[in-house]
Structure 1
Amino acid sequence: MRIGCAAIALCGAVIVGDIAQAACRQALALGLDVSGSVDAREYRLQMDGLAAALDSPKVRQALLILPGTPVELLVYEWSGPEDPTVILPWTAVTSAPVLDAVIGALRATERRQATPGTALGLAMREGVAHLSEKSNCWKLTLDISGDGKSNLGPRPVDIKPEIEPTGITINALVIGADAPALGDLRQAEISGLSAYFQNNVIVGSDSFVETALGFEDYAEAMARKLERELETLILGQVDGLVSAHKTGHTHP
């Protein structure tokens, strides 16, 4: 099925020719939790996990399938109110070498000092500020990864009304307890945390929460989330481009 989707996307790109040259198809900002609950090992699993997800075959295909209208990526870290830091500035993924450079940069990133608090509401606001720079992109998506509830700054539920009118989608990757000794309690813990992100964080009619049962599962969970986001956009884009071609309009 997904191979068929890729073929449809390529056909759509051929049909519309230079219609697809003017803009990026998606701006994707990824906010990574580096608060005090994330230790050095978990930090490395998160960073390398994102790199591995971007390097997975299905995600690579989705990112590179329409280089004339690329996805633009930005990655930032967040914890306390003063700590948001961009570790990958906006980068248009226009070719395999560019994607390889992004992956290499993430794998080479070293942990910096950060305060232990979890200012999730401010992390949402930070991502939206970055996405506001990308008005040329057809879809604006913020991905927040986190392993706990907000305990500093404005509550995420109070930030949501600011974001909802912007058209920005916020998805979440919730990371559950990493200790196997907890056994079945991990499922209960992550269910509660997922419900918190569902009710307080995500924004948009097509938004969703993905889960990772510990940082060991982060790479696979991130790959699943990216596949879902990017594949949906490709199919929607092709439909819009083909419709524009038929009606004579040049914008999706």
Structure 2
Amino acid sequence: MLAALMVLTGAVGVSSAGKAEELVDVALVLAVDVSRSMSPDEITLQRKGYAAAIADPAVVKAVKQGVHGRIALTMFEWANDGHAREIVPWTVIERLEHAQGFSDTVLADTTFGQRRTSISGAIRHASRLLLDVPYAADRFVIDISGDGPNNQGQTVTRARDIAVEAGFVINGLPLMTTSGFGTQFNIPDLDEYYRRCVIGGPGSFMIPVNDWDQFPEAVRRKLVLEIGGRMPMKPPRVLPAQITFEEPYDCLIGEKIWRKLRQQFFLDP
């Protein structure tokens, strides 16, 4: 399965994780959606929300409570299947000044929206980063935020399943907001889509965001859970992944919406 993942992600050779010496509790990839369905104001709010959450004392406290007392963190922005732009490279977070430095780098960058939405492409890129993480991690987690379903590239369930089989956990932060551009590409039950089609792995979960005012707190809670490798007994608005479902769910809904709109408005492939 590791070989299959390396083919999927385009990785070659042997993961540098096997040569790492510094121990971390978790290697965590933050994959942030910047597709054009989000307005510039929303993208700015998203960036500020991540920056505030990463430097939050509760997040740093969670880091210190780990076995090794440190985590490895990286962040990139994604949109279409070919767009994955690094915001912050792999960084060890051990103390507040490390978290603040990461946060400052996030705030100093500038984002430009990109067309299309490829969650599968984001999973593939995040998987490649985890294959090459230069630290020895006890856990490997992909954290994906987005405001719409996959509509380009490999099917999201195939990318998810390969990543999970390789030992990676995928958590989600579906943005249920409706004020951005391109809302015709979105779906009203994006939280259910993320639960059934995107997240996966032991203890995986997602936290829906219905309003941008909720975003910083949702990211903070999500990071605390991911860093600690645990979930609360009765998590409000934290929905775990399910293995079986009574009713089938169409995980190709995003691709179907795109094809329908393309036929109506002669959109680019």
Name the TM-score, length of structure 2 as normaliser: 0.71
Query: 1:130 maps to what in 2?
Result: 129
Check whether the contact 1:190–1:213 (CA below 8 A) recurs between aligned residues. no
Query: 2:119 maps to what in 1?
Result: 120
Write the distance in 1 (CA, Å) between the matches of 2:36 and 2:188.
Answer: 22
Query: 1:145 maps to what in 2?
Result: 145
Cα distance, 1:158 vs. partner?
A: 1.9
Mapping 1:25-104, distance limit 5 Å: 25-65=25-65, 68-104=68-104
Unaligned runs of 5+ in 1: 1-20, 180-188, 235-252
Do structure 1's residue 219 and structure 2's residue 216 form an aligned pair?
A: yes
Report the more deviating stretch, 145-154 or 212-221. Answer: 212-221
Check whether the contact 1:172–1:210 (CA below 8 A) recurs between aligned residues. yes
Check whether the contact 1:67–1:94 (CA below 8 A) recurs between aligned residues. no
**SS of residue matched to 1:144:** strand
Cα distance, 1:64 vs. partner?
A: 3.5
Q: 1:56 to 1:96 in 2, by over 3 A?
A: closer
Check whether the contact 1:27–1:71 (CA below 8 A) recurs between aligned residues. yes
Cα distance, 1:218 vs. partner?
A: 1.3
Write the distance in 2 (CA, Å) between the matches of 1:190 and 1:52.
Answer: 28
1:197 to 194, 198, 201: 194
Identity %: 27
Check whether the contact 1:45–1:216 (CA below 8 A) recurs between aligned residues. no
Counting helix residues as a fraction of each chain, which structure ranks higher?
1
Write the distance in 1 (CA, Å) between the matches of 2:140 and 2:81.
Answer: 23
Check whether the contact 1:26–1:71 (CA below 8 A) recurs between aligned residues. yes
Q: 1:136 to 1:233 in 2, by over 3 A?
A: farther
Aligned length: 206
Unaligned runs of 5+ in 2: 1-20, 180-185, 232-269
Name the TM-score, length of structure 1 as normaliser: 0.75
Write the distance in 2 (CA, Å) between the matches of 1:91 and 1:194.
Answer: 30
